[in-house]
Amino acid sequence: MKLTLKIWRQENAKTKGKLVTYKLSDLSPDTSFLEMLDVLNEQLATKGEPVVEFDHDCREGICGQCSLVINGKAHGPEEHYTTCQTHLRSFNDGDTITIEPFRANSFPVIRDLKVDRSAMDRIIQAGGYISSFTGMAPEANSMPIHHDIAESAFDSAACIGCGACVATCKNSSAALFVSAKIGHLVKLPQGQVERNERVLWMVNAHDDEGFGSCTNIGACAMVCPQEVQLLDITRMNYEYNRAVCLSAD
């Protein structure tokens, strides 16, 4: 395959960036998208040119690090995929592919395609935890949880914090991410101790970090690699209003 790549190059958050064109040939359709970038970087390094910086880690669709906007869509053309799960067979020979970083004020560019998503970490630090006694683990059957509840909690906990929801939302809201982290804990008995405080802490941290408000467009759920549902945002709103009312009493 032959591909033309238009890649966003930017020194840092304070400098202006631009799209730079690169051409690659002799690519296999079975090559993953990140492997293609590796090929490009090898060629750039051989020429003594600066390589393209981008985030990656597991390359198995688990860690959520591969944050790229490909032809205007977070993670690329496939439905509910991460960038690292995308392969060149998703494109046609001779295609021009535009590759940009996730765009959001709360995700400042570090360099090229690499952005700082530590704002999401600080939201987790604000309340994404439970209180628990130390010592031996409790007996598994001492806290029975209905199968449907456990499955629902697992569905919410599947969020990998990639930030695609933020990059896709017209308001740069992280509501889907925050609601998934709140939702999977509030559904379980272990999460009841901080139930009221957690939602207030995390939603307030979300706003303090500069993320926008959710206006129920639903684009976030359409690109989520783990298919986190909009119902989690509904649950978060309920939990937030409940906590505000209880704190006012």
Per residue in 3-42, pLDDT (tens digit) is 999 999 999 989 999 999 999 999 999 999 999 999 999 9
> Are the C-beta atoms of 100 and 8 separated by less than 8 Å?
yes
Q: What is the largest CA-CA distance in the chain?
A: 68
DSSP secondary structure, 147-161, as one string: HHHHHHHHHHHT---
Domain boundaries, the chain: 3-111, 118-248
Task: Give CA–CA dist 27/93, Å, rounded.
Answer: 9
Q: Does an H or E element contain 231, and which?
A: helix 231-248
CA distances from 63 to 34, 55, 195 (A): 14, 11, 27
Residue 64 CB coordination number (10 Å): 24
Residue 111 binned pLDDT confidence (cut-offs 50, 70, 90): very high
Per residue in 67-84, pLDDT (tens digit) is 999 999 999 999 999 999
pLDDT value at 147 more than 80? yes
Residue 67 CB coordination number (10 Å): 24
96-101/109-111 β-pairing: unpaired
pLDDT value of residue 49: 96
pLDDT value at 140 more than 80? no
Residue 138 binned pLDDT confidence (cut-offs 50, 70, 90): confident
pLDDT value of residue 132: 80
Per residue in 162-194, pLDDT (tens digit) is 999 999 999 999 999 999 999 999 999 989 999
Phi, psi of 7 (to 5 degrees): -110, 135
The conformation of residue 79, written as its DSSP 8-state character, comes to T
Mean pLDDT of the chain: 95
**In CATH, what is the architecture of 3-111?**
Roll (3.10)
The conformation of residue 226, written as its DSSP 8-state character, comes to T
CA distances from 32 to 9, 26, 36, 37, 90 (A): 21, 14, 6, 9, 10
DSSP secondary structure, 24-55, as one string: E-S--TTSBHHHHHHHHHHHHHHHTPPPPP--
Q: What number is the average pLDDT over the span 57-61?
A: 94
pLDDT value of residue 143: 80
> What class, spelled out in words, does domain 118-248 have in CATH?
mainly alpha
Alpha helices (H) along 75-230? 118-127, 147-157, 164-168, 175-186, 195-208, 219-223
Residue 136 binned pLDDT confidence (cut-offs 50, 70, 90): confident
pLDDT value of residue 133: 78
Per residue in 179-238, pLDDT (tens digit) is 999 999 999 998 999 999 999 999 999 999 999 999 999 999 999 999 999 999 999 999
Phi, psi of 76 (to 5 degrees): 110, -170
Q: What number is the average pLDDT over the span 152-166?
A: 96
pLDDT value of residue 128: 93
Task: Give CA–CA dist 184/199, Å, rounded.
Answer: 12
